[in-house]
Structure 1
Amino acid sequence: MTSRAATHLSGSLVENRPELWLDHFPWPGGDTHKYARGHLAVFSGPASMTGAARLSARGGARIGAGAVTVLSPPNALLVNAIHLTAIMVRSLADANALDAFQEKARCRAYVLGPGFGNLEKANAFAITVLAFKQASSLVLDADGITAFRDKPEILFEAIKSSASHVVTTPHEGEFSRLFPDLGEDEGLTRVDRAREAARRSGAVVILKGEETIIADPDGRAAINRNATPFLATAGSGDVLAGFCGGLLAQGMPPFEAASAAVWLHAETASRFGPGLIAEDLPDALPAVLTELGPKALKPKRR
């Protein structure tokens, strides 16, 4: 029996390789400056859960965002400030303060969910970002996804009525919280499920796993096969969200940004190998980027 959801599925399926997205990669030009390279904001959780946001922020900075700000609950401000240098920290209490921040900072992208904790506030922040007058991009990860498990249609409607781009990064459990019927449908492959979820939600979906699927609402999908088991370590998904947010902040199209983030995340981990922890990923990324970059960006040999 063919699933009813399967009748909506169409589009190309390709393997995720640099040729898919390299022409869209935001290499800096000679006349650039930090804000031209994009401002990324990452929402932090409470004082005891701030590490995840800092991992995302560092990932966004390493992949090229010109400025990165961690938006911190007031009671976690000092914890974040002690651990950050080039990354800025801003106290943010509620959604009203978020509106005021965006009016001044004009961030191009936000990451919401890593270590966030407060699902009610995550819900409010996501809806607020999607309602901004100035279009921005939003990466929803972890608690940013779970915040809508009771009424996912509210998120989907907000995405489709917004000028902003959204990328979601669920593992299988988080996927089933937003799309319980797809998670239980044995007639669909993982590619089918990701495609239908993207079509239904209006967001690019990164369905994480041994072979991660990247699906666009227009039906395009890519399958990523360069991952390593060493990525199975706490915080690696937070870095992936930061990689994606950093590319979106630089103006990369969402499907290509998601595909690039997934490939670079896996390639960096594969090259690092045994002993990998999440903190290693941002610092190991530049070597991979140097190999991919145009000739003008490669260091000269002496």
Structure 2
Amino acid sequence: MTQPLAPSPIDLDALSLPRPGADTHKHSRGRLGVVSGGPLRTGAARLAARAGLRMGAGLVKVLCPPDAAPVLAPALEAVMLDVFHDPLDLERLAEPMDAVVIGPAAGVDEATVLNMAALERTGAALVLDADALTVFAGRAEQLAQGLDRDDVITPHAGEFERLFPGLLARSGREGAAVEAAAALGCVVVLKGDRSLIAAPDGRLRIEAGGAAWLATAGTGDVLAGMIGGLLAQSMDSFDAASAAVALHAEAARRFGPGLIAEDLPGLLPPLLAERLDAPGATP
């Protein structure tokens, strides 16, 4: 068993959150794409997209298959929408994006694998969650081939176990997160009561406060969008994942009972204002 590590608590004060300057425009604030599933599975993408917009990405666009567009179009306002017909089409649409989220309700099928391969060719920083991880169950080596240090995966324990069977039992959560990050060559967010963020170089952080109110459907989709929103603004992937995890948990703690995923994006502006207006914050 890997010797348990001592993760560092996330210190939001030490992380430099992006903020716009006087000459900033929407494209310079970062462009985030979110890949949607089919017509009955659009909610996850909408949650992720709204969260990315709230985190400060200047332009957020949902990319969807044609049959999902009539469902999504009436439900989106500031978030833009575009349709892709095949992986090459998705690659073309994602090419201008700085970051892309894929996985929430994407489908556990070969289409998701091909769409991920298309996104990997764009150079955008990727956030992989849910179906984008489950589709590689037992095939972590294949997943690793398309990832790099700018990318982030966000598994809960079940998804992690499917990717790395037995690793949690052998190495414990801390050791397993670090081993997985090294094996994949990307940042790993192992979600749970005390979420862990591991970098490929061995660094490890923990969200020590926890937030049991996050145990409700869709909150992971919001977290993926939050990370994507920070990556789109060129924040370092390890720091972006750490900041998003900390803000996600703090929002849930402040809201408390009755929290649902739809509440979370609207809770972010005051939390961001506190950080960006704090003494020492970079203007």
- Partner residue of 2:224 out of 241, 264, 284: 241
- Partner residue of 1:78 out of 54, 70, 73: 70
- Identity rate of aligned residues, in percent? 47
Query: Which residue of structure 2 lines up, in the alignment, with residue 143 of structure 1?
Result: 131
Give the drift of 1:150: 4.3
What runs of 5+ residues in structure 1 fail to find an aligned partner? none
Cα 1:157–1:210, aligned 2, differ >3 Å: closer, same or farther? same
Q: 1:137-176 alignment to 2 at 5 Å?
A: 137-160=125-148, 165-176=150-161
Query: Which residue of structure 2 lines up, in the alignment, with residue 54 of structure 1?
Result: 46
Cα 1:288–1:177, aligned 2, differ >3 Å: closer, same or farther? same
Corresponding residue SS for 2:34: strand
Give the drift of 1:290: 1.0
Query: Which residue of structure 2 lines up, in the alignment, with residue 272 of structure 1?
Result: 255
What is the rounded CA distance, in whole Å, between the counterparts of 1:102 and 1:238 in structure 2? 19
Cα 1:173–1:85, aligned 2, differ >3 Å: closer, same or farther? same
Partner deviation per Cα, 1:240-299 (whole Å, 9 max, x = no partner): 000000000000000000000000000011111111110000011101111111369x9x
Give the drift of 1:52: 0.6
Query: Which residue of structure 2 lines up, in the alignment, with residue 261 of structure 1?
Result: 244
Aligned Cα RMSD in Å?
1.8
Query: Which residue of structure 2 lines up, in the alignment, with residue 15 of structure 1?
Result: 9
Query: Which residue of structure 2 lines up, in the alignment, with residue 293 of structure 1?
Result: 276
Give the drift of 1:118: 4.3
Higher-Rg structure is 1
Partner deviation per Cα, 1:194-240 (whole Å, 9 max, x = no partner): 00000001110000000000000000000112222111111000000
What is the rounded CA distance, in whole Å, between the counterparts of 1:210 and 1:152 in structure 2? 24
Please tell me whether the aligned partners of residues 119 and 146 of structure 1 are also in contact (alpha carbons under 8 angstroms): no
Query: Which residue of structure 2 lines up, in the alignment, with residue 87 of structure 1?
Result: 79
What is the rounded CA distance, in whole Å, between the counterparts of 2:14 and 2:113 in structure 1? 33
Please tell me whether the aligned partners of residues 195 and 216 of structure 1 are also in contact (alpha carbons under 8 angstroms): yes
What runs of 5+ residues in structure 2 fail to find an aligned partner? none
- Partner residue of 1:114 out of 104, 107, 113: 104
Give every structure 1 segment of 4 or more consecutive aligned residues whose post-TM-superposition deviation is greater than 2 Å: none
Give the drift of 1:181: 3.4
Please tell me whether the aligned partners of residues 94 and 100 of structure 2 are also in contact (alpha carbons under 8 angstroms): no
Query: Which residue of structure 2 lines up, in the alignment, with residue 131 of structure 1?
Result: 121
Query: Aligned AA for 1:114?
Result: P
Query: Aligned AA for 1:165?
Result: D
